[in-house]
Amino acid sequence: MKTYNVKVKRIAEKDIYSIADFLFDKLSPEGAYRYLDIVGQEIKSLSIYADCFSLSRSHTIQSIHPKARRMVSHNHKFVYVFHIEDDTVFLDRVMMGKMIVD
């Protein structure tokens, strides 16, 4: 099985910071940290599982990158939008699942 390097684009970092702000506003600090740890694990899992996800046919996803793929978070609230170039997975965005329209 092929493994990839994972690079988080700046806009995806901003998405993660926005999610963190939301979580710390709504949850206890322990709950927010736990949730963010899961987000980190899911992002790291792209290094192994990225090629298990096919190219997205969603117009919303394709507007981010023409060869974008998506992975849904463990609780189905977030979508990780990424693309693969050679041996690298680029995390393009982390979006609320509700923002995806086909």
In this structure, what token pair is assigned to residue 7? 């690079």
Which CATH architecture is the domain 5-99 placed in? 2-Layer Sandwich (3.30)
Q: How far is CA 26 from the centre of its chain?
A: 21
Q: pTM for this structure?
A: 0.90
CA distances (Å), origin 19, targets 29, 49, 53, 57, 100: 13, 23, 23, 25, 16
pLDDT-derived band at 1, boundaries 50, 70, 90 = confident
Amino acid at 89: V
What are the residue boundaries of the structural domains of the chain, listed by start?
Answer: 5-99
Over residues 42-69, the mean pLDDT reads 95
- Residue found by looking up tokens 């979006």 in the block: 95
Q: What is the pLDDT of residue 3?
A: 95
pLDDT-derived band at 74, boundaries 50, 70, 90 = confident
Q: What is the pLDDT of residue 102?
A: 62
pLDDT of residue 77 exceeding 60: yes
* Helix 10-26 and helix 29-49, axial crossing angle in degrees, nearest 10: 150
The model's pLDDT over 7-55, given as tens digits with 9 standing for 90+, comes to: 999 999 999 999 999 999 999 999 999 999 999 999 999 999 999 999 9
> How far apart (Å, rounded) are the C-alpha atoms in residues 20 and 46?
20
Over residues 72-79, the mean pLDDT reads 86
Kind and range of the H or E element at 24?
Answer: helix 10-26
pLDDT of residue 100 exceeding 70: no
